[in-house]
Amino acid sequence: MKTLYLIIPFAPLVGALVAGLLGRVIGRAGAHWITILGVAVSFVCSVLVMQDVLAGNTFNGTLYTWMEAGGLKLEIGFLIDRLTAVMLIVVTFVSLMVHIYTIGYMADDPGYQRFFSYISLFTFSMLMLVMSNNFLQLFFGWEAVGLVSYLLIGFWYTRPTAIYANLKAFLVNRVGDFGFLMGIGLIAAYAGSLDYATVFGKSKELATITEVATGWPLITAICIGLFVGAMGKSAQVPLHVWLPDSMEGPTPISALIHAATMVTAGIFMVSRMSPLFELSDTALSFVIVVGATTALFMALIAIVQTDIKRVVAYSTLSQLGYMTAALGASAYSAAIFHLMTHAFFKAVLFLGAGSVIIAMHHEQDMRRMGGLRKYLPITYATVLIGAIANAGLPPFAGFFSKDSIIEAVQLSNVWGAGFAHVALLAGVFVGGFYSFRLVFFTFHGKERFRDAPHDDHGHDAHDDHGHHGPVEPHESPKVVTIPLILLAIPAIAAGWLIGPILFENYFGNAIVIGDNHHAIAHMKEHFHGVIPMILHGLTSVPFWLAMAGAVTAWFLYIKRPDLPAVIKQRFAPFAWVLEKKYGFDDFNDWFFAGGARGLGRGLWKAGDQVLIDGLAVNGSASLVGRFAGVVRRWQSGHVYQYAFSMLLGVIVLLTLWLGRS
């Protein structure tokens, strides 16, 4: 099986290297065939690993020892268990669909081979992250997905907006990674190992230690440090600001980053670290409050967005908040379950948005769309499935996972759970509203695209896709619609796996829950099957809140399309706050970016110009010049003056010598 484990990450890596280094040799078709083949092989192997794991087999071993320093071993190894197997299936399947979709979406882009190389390398990085059995390899995968996301977000590197977006993503994630490194550093210092099993074995011992620098319990400091890393990678408030701007990258990578890979890395990491987090209620409270805040307040921003991709992006932020809140409630299995269902329906929404963008000749503004249902029947059907799942309506996948999270948070006994429960319930209404707002605004109502000017083609316009004429929408080619259909199937059906995943101890020892955290155990007592859960869900508060949101969207954008403008004018201050995204971007630009520029300017003027140039360089040169000016007076060139000076010196020396005697 070791060979199989190695094939899973390295098959996409081989594809990435061949497409990247030999792209001109193998051509466009060769690039997509080699990368798709690599990811397909990885997916098939992941299925085989899942079968092996379900048969009761696991693996935790070292493949390579990089170095040993002071008793600390730095190793490369794999941990294959049921948690890993789920992540492998999700990552490879979504990545495979995105690879196939990319053939159609990037058909005319001059960077075709380069893009396939990047997304295949991205897949490799994520697989190395989820398969790691130690913090060194985890950090390698963690930084690798960050690096490749930088390349992908700024793929169209001639655009200033893309350069700004990838730089923003890079810098914000470095903030989170600082906390992540602090957590890993504390583990290495106090546990003396970076191996998961060793660290988890010492977790109770770590829980008895107080960290000297902060005075915090060591386990709390470790967990908060690790979670700060997750806040950056999984885009939690206030480190969320990079994710909406990442829409500057091509749509396929938006789907890959935001559905199954990079942004879910933080959720996976905290779930993997459950033996540590379970020992700190303080850390869990921090996690649940941050998650609930993100879930509600990012959902509110989605209701004022007009760019179709940004609506889905803020939806991703909100859904990540739900997952994070589940982690804080010790419902790790519910978080992973929502990660899985979300990967499918969010990939559908992103790729569906990309299909709309293709049909609209790379227009992204929903105000210039409308009435596309009859032109894009397949895209419409799949996006509708994704929207229903995203809103959490039964019997689609999102209902089971989101409802489970809300119930787990309600049952949680950590501080902040009450606020989190209210915030998540409010987020359900908002989620239903923005999900169906996208559907009604884009696919129903008046065909606004016939009246709108089309000189501007939105953020996703390709350099050679100029279009200056009337827009006539058309359904996307099969290479685009088939991945949409294949992803829509699990977006409908994946939720029906709730029984084994949540209540039949599917994850086994991969996830640890303390005896004082009983949310999942209590939910298990009241779970009687999928159908009873659906029937009960039809009478639950979350269902009626989601339905209320959907009906409100229908009323405002179908029945009374004149009202949104009136409401916006009536609540102009609130709308302004949402459009300004609560001022996070402005504050960061003013305080952090502006502060950094001000500090640089101060160092330049005071340090470089005054101290270095003025004092050290120019000052020393001036001092030498002045000294030379004085010395120059003694160098007249007249011999008699030199003779007189020598005579005077001799007289002085004799006087001093005779005086001593």
Q: In this predicted model, what pLDDT tens digit does every residue of 636-654 receive, in sequence order?
A: 677 777 787 788 888 888 8
Confidence of residue 505 (pLDDT cuts 50, 70, 90): confident
Query: pLDDT at position 466, please?
Result: 41
Rounded to whole angstroms, the Cα distance separating 367 from 435 reads 16
Q: Which whole number is the average pLDDT over 153-160?
A: 88
Rounded to whole angstroms, the Cα distance separating 157 from 598 reads 27
**Per-residue DSSP letter, 511:** S
Rounded to whole angstroms, the Cα distance separating 340 from 93 reads 11
Confidence of residue 467 (pLDDT cuts 50, 70, 90): very low
Question: Which residue carries 């916006």 as its tokens?
Answer: 568
**Per-residue DSSP letter, 74:** E
Q: Which whole number is the average pLDDT over 611-620?
A: 75
Mean confidence (pLDDT) of the chain: 87
Q: Which whole number is the average pLDDT over 212-220?
A: 80
CB atoms within 10 A of CB 67: 8
**Per-residue DSSP letter, 527:** -
Cα separations in angstroms, 45 against 7, 34, 41, 93, 97: 7, 17, 6, 11, 16
Number of alpha helices (DSSP H) and beta strands (DSSP E) in the chain: 30, 2
Beta-bridged to residue 64, according to DSSP, are 76
CA-based nearest residue to 23, from 109, 111, 144, 105: 111
Query: pLDDT at position 348, please?
Result: 93
Tell whether the model's pLDDT for residue 161 goes beyond 80: yes
Confidence of residue 655 (pLDDT cuts 50, 70, 90): confident
- 660: tokens are 């001593």
Mapped onto helix, strand or coil, the DSSP state of residue 164 is: helix
- 281: tokens are 């209620």
Nearest 5°: phi and psi at 156?
Answer: -85, 80
- 515: tokens are 């005896």
Rounded to whole angstroms, the Cα distance separating 467 from 149 reads 29
Query: pLDDT at position 325, please?
Result: 95
Confidence of residue 120 (pLDDT cuts 50, 70, 90): very high
Query: pLDDT at position 459, please?
Result: 47
Looking at this protein, which amino acid is placed at residue 330? S
Rounded to whole angstroms, the Cα distance separating 43 from 91 reads 8
Q: Which whole number is the average pLDDT over 451-459?
A: 53
Percent of the chain having pLDDT more than 70?
Answer: 95
Confidence of residue 468 (pLDDT cuts 50, 70, 90): very low
Query: pLDDT at position 471, please?
Result: 63
Query: pLDDT at position 621, please?
Result: 77
Long-range CB contacts for residues 140-146, cutoff 8 Å, separation at least 24: 141/265, 142/177, 142/180, 142/229, 142/233, 142/265, 142/269, 143/177, 145/233, 145/261, 145/262, 145/265, 146/170, 146/173, 146/177, 146/233, 146/262
Rounded to whole angstroms, the Cα distance separating 414 from 417 reads 6
Rounded to whole angstroms, the Cα distance separating 110 from 130 reads 33
Query: pLDDT at position 456, please?
Result: 46
Query: pLDDT at position 452, please?
Result: 57
Count how many Cα atoms sit within 13 Å of the Cα of residue 154 in the half-sphere of its side chain: 17
Confidence of residue 634 (pLDDT cuts 50, 70, 90): low
Whether omega for the bond prior to residue 395 falls within 30 degrees of 0, making it cis, is yes
pLDDT 10s digits, 552-562: 999 999 998 88
Confidence of residue 541 (pLDDT cuts 50, 70, 90): very high
Confidence of residue 462 (pLDDT cuts 50, 70, 90): very low
Count how many Cα atoms sit within 13 Å of the Cα of residue 199 in the half-sphere of its side chain: 28
Nearest 5°: phi and psi at 66?
Answer: -70, -50
pLDDT 10s digits, 234-247: 989 999 998 888 88
pLDDT 10s digits, 314-330: 999 999 999 999 999 99
Q: Find the largest Cα–Cα distance for the chain.
A: 120
Query: pLDDT at position 453, please?
Result: 58
Rounded to whole angstroms, the Cα distance separating 457 from 464 reads 12
- 340: tokens are 């899985």
Tell whether the model's pLDDT for residue 193 goes beyond 80: yes
- 236: tokens are 């939690």
Stretch (H or E) spanning 186? helix 160-191
pLDDT 10s digits, 578-608: 988 888 888 888 887 788 788 888 877 777 7
Strongest mean pLDDT among 266-280, 442-456, 575-589, 642-656: 266-280
Q: Where is average pLDDT lowest: 123-137, 437-451, 587-601?
A: 587-601
Rounded to whole angstroms, the Cα distance separating 476 from 469 reads 19
Query: pLDDT at position 470, please?
Result: 54
Query: pLDDT at position 465, please?
Result: 41
CB atoms within 10 A of CB 224: 21
Confidence of residue 292 (pLDDT cuts 50, 70, 90): very high
Beta strands in 46-140 (DSSP E): 59-69, 72-80
Query: pLDDT at position 457, please?
Result: 45
Query: pLDDT at position 23, please?
Result: 85
Query: pLDDT at position 450, please?
Result: 74
Rounded to whole angstroms, the Cα distance separating 355 from 484 reads 9
Question: How long a stretch of residues is the chain?
Answer: 661
Query: pLDDT at position 553, please?
Result: 93
Rounded to whole angstroms, the Cα distance separating 436 from 95 reads 26
* Residues 6+ positions from 317 with CB-CB distance below 8 Å: 235, 240, 243, 244, 294, 298, 299
Q: Which whole number is the average pLDDT over 401-428?
A: 93
* Residues 6+ positions from 580 with CB-CB distance below 8 Å: 586
Confidence of residue 464 (pLDDT cuts 50, 70, 90): very low
Nearest 5°: phi and psi at 68?
Answer: -130, 125
Helix axis angle, 160-191 to 218-233, nearest 10°: 160
Percent of the chain having pLDDT more than 90?
Answer: 49
Assessment of whether the complete model's pTM goes beyond 0.85 = yes
